[in-house]
């Protein structure tokens, strides 16, 4: 079946223009509520009630990677997969994937115009109306599974429209978005656990004690059965292989192509969910093939071509990661420390960051590991609210200094790469290892313009 299109047969405006117009519907004060989304879905005839089985994924870090593993495994088994994620890296179309392919421009424009028309000018957030557009698209194109990532929190997220999803997954929880979700880990975990549903299997990645205690409390309250990493399932490396083990037995699998020990945990959560959903009949062979075919850009991605790679020189390593909070920084630092154990190289960070993030705690993870931080602005703008709420490079460099790192503000990515290469040559004579990080907006710009 062709990709979905709305009832309006006319030629729509470009989707970027429609998305820009939709931002004007944003309420002046954002209150986390399901009411606006429920109202629009009802006006559209409840498309969310006409979907294939939904796997709903929340968490602070790892949602996208878990979803990528699920998609890779399911498609390796011949199943058709819809997927919703946010934010996008290069084009909005990445957020709405229909049977493995980002939605086409004409179909997206028709859907957005239909949702805008039916909304009738009522207040609604950008994320809410685009989530409704995704659910409408999914309802009109047959598939076997829908993978649905939470945007913010869980309990009052626009994706939380299902009384009985096939499964829920809660990835690692840590501090982020405290101004919306609460100041304590327990409060944040309570919001994330808001996706848990009665009698629906809930796969929980290994958590800090405070977060898990709250998840366990919320699960008991709604009668959701838990399958907990480190208790009911385990995922680890052994002799260069990826081992997954639960009460159904042990799997000996290839190491995932996504880099880092944390990706074993994410792969484990995906496998744990599919092992609970026996009606999907996913084969062990598909699990293995899914590990080596998985792809998720800007998650410890080695850049191989483009102007930045050319500027760095053939011997330098240039890595891209969207890590943007203290927990994500901790994971990235662990990966880079492992790289350094295997092949020592001087490490430099190139970073931009939104002003809502705890930059000092983020940078603290790299103390004693990174030789210098170069801060930059995000070039250009992206068509999403909040993309321009960036910390000025000079201010961000001061924050890196507060974390105990040498730092300097730079005028561009290219200038930062050049400074890192020159610094490494002067200090050690070795080619550098460079990580571009701090926000997915910067990562998207790199992927759009520099690869």
pLDDT at 6: 43
126: tokens are 């950008």
Number of other CB atoms surrounding residue 10 within 10 Å: 6
Give me the residues paired with residue 235 across strands.
244
Average pLDDT, the chain: 92
Which phi and psi angles does 96 have, rounded to 5°? -115, 100
Confidence label for 380 from pLDDT (cuts 50, 70 and 90): low
Q: Which domains does the chain have, with CATH numbers?
A: 15-293 (3.40.1190.10), 301-449 (3.90.190.20)
pLDDT at 266: 97
25 within 8 A of 119, measured Cβ to Cβ: yes
**At residue 386, does pLDDT exceed 70?**
no
The more confidently predicted of residues 19 and 219 is: 219
- CA distances from residue 371 to 46, 180, 326, 346, 433 in whole angstroms, order as listed: 54, 34, 19, 7, 10
Confidence label for 427 from pLDDT (cuts 50, 70 and 90): confident
pLDDT at 387: 46
Q: What is the pLDDT of residues 107-150, one digit of tens each?
A: 999 999 999 999 999 999 999 999 999 999 999 999 999 999 99
The more confidently predicted of residues 179 and 204 is: 204
**At residue 2, does pLDDT exceed 70?**
no
Q: What is the pLDDT of residues 37-89, one digit of tens each?
A: 999 999 999 999 999 999 999 999 999 999 999 999 999 999 999 999 999 99
pLDDT at 27: 67
CA 204, CA 200: separation in Å to the nearest integer?
Answer: 13
Among 273, 297, 303, CA closest to 287 = 273
Q: What's the whole-model pTM score? A: 0.92
Kindly report which listed range (8-17, 182-191, 389-398, 425-434) carries the lowest average pLDDT score: 8-17
Residue linked to tokens 């609210």: 385
- Dihedral (CA of 363, 366, 368, 369) sign: negative
Buried b (16+ CB within 10 A) or exposed e, 34-48: bebbbbbbeebeebb
**At residue 381, does pLDDT exceed 50?**
no
Q: At what angle do helices 284-293 and 63-76 cross, to 10 degrees?
A: 130
Q: What percent of the chain has pLDDT over 90?
A: 82
With 0-12 / 13-18 / 19 or more C-beta atoms within 10 angstroms meaning exposed / middle / buried, residue 290 is buried
| Mean pLDDT in residue range 166-174 | 96
Give me the residues paired with residue 96 across strands.
84
**At residue 29, does pLDDT exceed 90?**
no
Sequence-distant (≥ 6) Cβ neighbours of residue 149 within 8 angstroms: 57, 58, 63, 64, 67, 83, 84, 85, 86, 159
Count CA atoms within 13 Å of residue 368 on its CB side.
5
| Mean pLDDT in residue range 322-346 | 94
**At residue 418, does pLDDT exceed 80?**
yes
pLDDT at 3: 54
| Mean pLDDT in residue range 377-400 | 73
CA 182, CA 39: separation in Å to the nearest integer?
Answer: 26
Residue 371 region by backbone torsions, left for phi larger than 0, else alpha for psi between -120 and 50, else beta: alpha
Confidence label for 312 from pLDDT (cuts 50, 70 and 90): very high
Which phi and psi angles does 225 have, rounded to 5°? -70, 130
Q: What is the pLDDT of residues 247-300, one digit of tens each?
A: 999 999 999 999 999 999 999 999 999 999 999 999 999 999 999 999 999 999
| Mean pLDDT in residue range 319-335 | 93
CA 229, CA 226: separation in Å to the nearest integer?
Answer: 10
CA 30, CA 20: separation in Å to the nearest integer?
Answer: 18
pLDDT at 378: 79
């Amino acid at each position: 079946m062709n990709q979905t299109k709305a009832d309006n047969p006319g030629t729509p405006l470009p989707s970027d223009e429609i998305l820009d117009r939709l931002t004007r519907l944003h309420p002046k004060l954002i209150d986390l509520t399901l009411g606006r989304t429920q109202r629009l879905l009802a006006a559209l005839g409840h498309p969310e009630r006409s979907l294939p089985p939904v796997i709903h994924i929340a968490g602070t870090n790892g949602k996208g990677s878990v979803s990528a593993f699920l998609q890779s495994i399911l498609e390796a088994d011949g199943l058709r997969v819809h997927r919703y994620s946010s934010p996008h890296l290069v084009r909005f179309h990445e957020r709405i994937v229909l049977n493995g392919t980002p939605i086409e421009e004409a179909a997206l424009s028709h859907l957005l115009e239909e949702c805008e028309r039916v909304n009738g000018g009522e207040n609604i957030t950008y994320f809410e109306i685009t989530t409704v557009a995704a659910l409408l698209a999914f309802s009109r194109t047959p598939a076997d599974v829908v993978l649905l990532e939470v945007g913010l929190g869980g309990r009052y997220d626009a994706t939380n429209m299902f009384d009985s999803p096939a499964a829920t997954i809660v990835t690692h929880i840590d501090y982020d978005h405290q101004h919306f979700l609460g100041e304590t880990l327990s409060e944040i975990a309570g919001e994330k656990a808001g996706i848990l549903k009665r009698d629906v299997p809930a796969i929980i990645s290994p958590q800090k004690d405070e977060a898990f205690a709250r998840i366990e409390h919320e699960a008991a309250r709604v009668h959701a059965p838990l399958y907990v990493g480190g208790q009911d399932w385990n995922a680890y490396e052994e002799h260069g292989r990826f081992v997954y083990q639960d009460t159904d037995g042990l799997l000996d699998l290839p190491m995932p192509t996504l880099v880092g020990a944390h990706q074993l945990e994410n792969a484990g959560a995906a496998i744990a969910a599919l092992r609970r959903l026996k009606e999907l009949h996913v084969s062990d062979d598909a699990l293995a093939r899914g590990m080596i075919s998985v792809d998720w850009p800007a998650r410890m991605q080695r850049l191989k071509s483009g102007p930045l790679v050319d500027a760095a020189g053939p011997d330098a390593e240039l890595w891209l990661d969207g890590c943007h909070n203290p927990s994500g920084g901790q994971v990235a630092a662990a990966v880079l420390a492992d790289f350094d154990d295997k092949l020592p190289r001087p490490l430099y960070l190139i970073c931009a960051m939104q002003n809502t993030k705890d930059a000092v705690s983020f940078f603290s993870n790299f103390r004693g590991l990174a030789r210098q931080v170069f801060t930059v602005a995000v070039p250009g703008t992206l068509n999403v609210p909040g993309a321009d709420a960036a910390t000025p490079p000079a201010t961000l460099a001061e924050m890196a200094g507060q974390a105990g790192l040498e730092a300097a503000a730079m005028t561009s990515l290219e200038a930062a790469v050049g400074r890192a290469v020159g610094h490494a040559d002067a200090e050690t004579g070795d080619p550098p290892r460079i990580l571009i990080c701090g926000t997915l907006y910067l990562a998207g710009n790199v992927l759009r313009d520099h690869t």
